[in-house]
Amino acid sequence: MARDFSIRIKFWIEKKGVSILGPGRIAILEAIESTGSLTEATKECQISFRKGWKLINEINEQLEQPVIVSERGGKGGGGKTKLTEYGSKLVRQYKRIENELSLLANDSKIWNDV
pLDDT for 85: 97
| Burial class, 62, CB count within 10 angstroms (exposed 0-12 / middle 13-18 / buried 19+) | middle
Q: What are phi and psi of 84, to 5 degrees?
A: -75, 170
The CATH code of the domain at 13-111 is 1.10.10.10
pLDDT in tens, 22-53: 999 999 999 999 999 999 999 999 999 999 99
The pLDDT tens digits for 51-78 are: 999 999 999 999 999 999 988 765 666 6
State the pLDDT at residue 70. 86
What's the pTM? 0.85
Give the per-residue pLDDT at 71.
80
